[in-house]
Structure 1
C-alpha cells in the first residue's frame, strides 16, 4: 500500500505538481534504509539532493562597494525639462500674432490671388483660341495665293 502511494508521489514529483510536504515525505522515504526493491533506482536521486542540500561554499565573495548615487540624474532630468519648456515656449511665441487690420489685408490678398489665378486660366484659354485663328489665317492665305 505504501509503495503505491510513493509511486503516485514520484509521478507527481517528476511532473512538478507536488507540494513541499509531499517532497519532504519522498525525501524521508528514500533516505531511509527500508526502500522497496522496485523503487531502489530512485534512491540515488534523493541521496544526491540531500548531499547537495548540506553543501556549503567556503569561498568568500567580495562584493564591490556601491558608490553613493550622485545628483547627476537629477540635473539631467531638470536640464531635459528646461529644454522641453524652452522648445514649447519658443514654438508658442514664434506663432505670428496679427492685428485685425493685418488679418483683413491677408484675407484680401488671398482673394486677389484667387482672382488673378482665375484670370490667368481664362487668358490661357483665349490664347489657345487665338492660335486656332492664326492657323486659320495661314491656311486661308495659302488657298488664296
Structure 2
C-alpha cells in the first residue's frame, strides 16, 4: 500500500476520524513484516492492540444468587402508603376549627380590611392632586411678584 495513504489514515486514526475498515487496513499494514522505516514507531501500538485482543481471562467469576425484590417492593409500598396517610391525617387535624362567632369575626375583619384599602387608595389620589395645587401656588407667586 502506498505510504501517503497510510500516513493519512494514521493522522485520521489519531484524530478519531477513521472507520472500522480504515482501522483494519492500518492493523493489517502494521502487523506485516514490511513496514516503512519512518512508521516503525507506530508498529508497537498496533501489535499491542492485536495482543490485547487475543487475551482472555482465566478467572472464574461468581455472581451469587439474585435476591427476590418482591418482598422489598411490598414493604416499600406499605411504607409509602403509611407516610401518605400520616401526611393527610396531620393536614386534616391541624386545620383550625372555628366556631360560628369566630367565623363572623373573620368575615367582619376582611370587610373592614377592604374598606381601609379603599380609603387608602382615595387618600393617595387626593395627596397626588395636592402636589398640583402646590405647584400652582408657586407658579402664581412668581407671576404676581
For Structure 1 versus Structure 2, the TM-score category normalised by the shorter chain is 0.5 to 0.7
Match of 2:11 in 1: 11
Unpaired runs of at least 5, structure 2: 110-145
Q: How many residues align?
A: 110
Match of 2:56 in 1: 56
Give the greater-gyration-radius structure (CA).
1
Match of 1:95 in 2: 95
Q: Relative to structure 1, is the Cα distance of residues 28 and 74 closer, same or farther in structure 2, using a 3 angstrom cutoff? A: same
Match of 1:20 in 2: 20
Structure 1 residue 49: Cα displacement: 1.2
Structure 1 residue 27: Cα displacement: 0.2
| Residues 26-105 of structure 1 mapped to structure 2, 5 A cutoff | 26-98=26-98, 100-104=100-104
Q: Distance in 2 between matches of 1:87 and 1:58?
A: 56
TM-score (structure 2 length as normaliser): 0.61
Q: Relative to structure 1, is the Cα distance of residues 41 and 82 closer, same or farther in structure 2, using a 3 angstrom cutoff? A: same
Q: Does 1:2 align with 2:2?
A: yes
TM-score (structure 1 length as normaliser): 0.61
Q: Relative to structure 1, is the Cα distance of residues 10 and 84 closer, same or farther in structure 2, using a 3 angstrom cutoff? A: same
Give the aligned CA root-mean-square deviation in angstroms.
2.7
Structure 1 residue 44: Cα displacement: 1.8
Q: Distance in 2 between matches of 1:61 and 1:108?
A: 78
Q: Relative to structure 1, is the Cα distance of residues 82 and 21 closer, same or farther in structure 2, using a 3 angstrom cutoff? A: same
Unpaired runs of at least 5, structure 1: 110-145
Bigger drift between 84-93 and 20-29 goes to 84-93
Superposed CA deviations along residues 65-119 of structure 1, whole A, max 9, x for unmatched, are 222224123223322222222322332244234454442356679xxxxxxxxxx
